Structure 1
């Protein structure tokens, strides 16, 4: 909301916001305007999203009371406490020359804007003003409440050279602290506002990120609910430099307990689990050289932030740091709780070349799941928070964005559909849809109906394998070799997620389809030839949740080769072996007498002829037409 308030002051030509607070909504019947969706580059509040409401607007509770500085402002800075100094002169704004402005003048401006002491004062620090230059020299004593209360004198120089428009950076005010956590970087959040310390309430990583940043305590490690239920509520985007830039209201919600990393942070990443690695050195932040940081060091950092295992580790992955470089080499074993618990050694290299500031991407923690849908990519959304699994709820307008984050975090593709869940007590989550995980979304204390999400990668990848005549099984892209003329079977199978469905076997030349029986299908090929050589894959199709889904197996690569011996030779060898075995058996079984020699000899000859005829018939039945003709020609 502070962005919108800043535009109100600009629209009224009243300088910077000095204070903004939520006030009870007056039941006077007047219509008010709710501002939202200002991004910082608009020239007027009219370019922001505007919703007009009555006494029931503004959530029916509060409206915002704004105080502007009126006569001085800081322009072009990163927040309310930095920018080019401009003062109001004849109803227009004029930049101030560096020669006409000193540290005592800066102390007055910082105090007038509610900021801390001056931290930087330099000409050209925040660019040049487009208008005129202030024609006086300030003579502040440093104790004045307003800059225009200071004495002035005529300028010694008539002109202000380019690059000399004075820029000012005030330190953030010491108006936030963490108490009860045993460290200045851990504890319940309290904020000094309107003369008293107030407990801050929010279930919000964005508020926690601002607190850790403002205190110089690195990145957020965890966010918990505090003991109190009467906390002053804040809402932040997460990019603010201090809590003063966040929206305040008089809603009461559970207090917020924050634990910051204190000594290490990830900067300029896409979420809480990625960024350039920086460690605290002499109260300032230093980037780490790639040569001084390995995977075991990365495991400690990822664990310290409550993230998953390291996924990417590379120099220059998230840009270069603007400050110094850490002058030690980390020697972590991978089991330490904190990076600064690791041993260090002197660096082997004296310099860190550009592009070598190490960037780290940790995998997202396993803190979200889909339950009751028969698949890890379908079901009611649950999120692990504060030691338990909680049902996630979302407003109608936020459901698709929340679902997109869930499918992305689980590696389940894109959202197919979002349905009402079974519970009416889901923890309210608000996402923009681009976050890498639910941890990066905004959480609210109120409860909403749960939601069931169905992602596109619903079906698990099916399996494919080949069975040869001897019962051997082959899998994988390298695949088997099959002799010409032999039969083989390719089987498609999948895990038992949903009943029914069908398998499409795709291979060079044609496709074949069979219904899934017991979650599998077998495709028989009677005799292998060159047309069967190539890549095969199984595509499993099923209609569930009123949508068609499919999933494809890996490739199986089949090579067709010639047999070591021609098939007809192998068959004749087999016939001869059968013949010899038969004769031997007959001889051993029958032991004829001398009287019966002739009769037995005739009987043996008949048996021999009968056996030969049987073998010949069997051989011709097994031989192909070409081989049969060849055999007849030989006869």
Structure 2
């Protein structure tokens, strides 16, 4: 007896059969009402034999039913209830816990010298195969983007004392989702969140019910299969948060980038067309689906078309999946060139001055960058500012002053203005152009000056004096400065010295 007990204990601890139990090939129920009831027979050495009913109980019978996929045992039979068998009695003193995957994993003895005969053949009646659950897709579609959530429903008609429901992916032995069941709950929702490329494939569900013994669980057959596929990531939407699309250098442009579904996003990026690296990157927090992307201190380089992308975490810790580009938004950066200017007058006057009463013109010019626009001429005077504007139909315009007066004297500046995108842009001021208005002297007109110069340079004045000293040259001072004389006309500007005369003193 002690030897038999040690054999049983030893085989139970190791989970294998003593004396070559690994050679058992199968198990069946014979002479019952159906495949889930009858005399228990096992295959060993290519020969079917029976099981002795010594110590046979519901725990042992449960293992048989579970092994055959027949549910749980309803009855464990002793005394050849399904008739006597033939051949060897292969198993004796079977002692199962109810958790074993097969009868030959229980503690057993082979070829016992006990008085067991075929009148002691063990039998079992099982509850039958557990019903197959039904898997449904609660999400409205079977194609998903990475980061989305897939919702399944798993249900069974009969109300067992369920333990839990499991969602399996084909080819993966462990369940991806487990949902505990309450009391006789017959359906649950199984949610697969934040799916990645790895999750594409076929899915089924199973349920488990509680057995009669502690920790005893019975698993159902797999449900029908549902296949899900993963397409490209959803396209984000780019919006312009700034109130306009045209900007000046130094301003900031605010964009918004969003995606409809709440992924576990990593970051958002703002791209300029033709530039491979993002100009702005903004990390996303958890399931944040919208961020603001700010392009600060823009320059003319930033003018162009923009789109955004987002990235999500892939199936591996370091893997990031990038979305398709969003719609495009174009921005314009307006930097006007500083205009140039010049003037001309109908009078002969020093540089920067115009004779009163004469006409003069001021021309403003710039390189035409944008269609339309206008030039503004500003006159800065001690008593205020005067402005004139003309449309820029050509790259240069001329402001005409036909009758120069003192009110036209001052510093002139040219500016260029253009309207784009509902905004007005103004260039920098040109360099100041000083204009002085001078009064002409009627007594020293060019004709009088011409006669005087001719007289003093072509004639000599002789004076009869008592003595003939050395000639003395005296200087004729006039209020104009001679600039040139061509023999017929005098060109004078503030002439101070126009000639000299030699005076001879004559003694009386």
- Answer yes or no: same fold by TM over 0.5: no
Instruction: Decide which structure has the larger Cα Rg and report it.
Output: 2
Give 1 or 2: higher helix fraction.
1
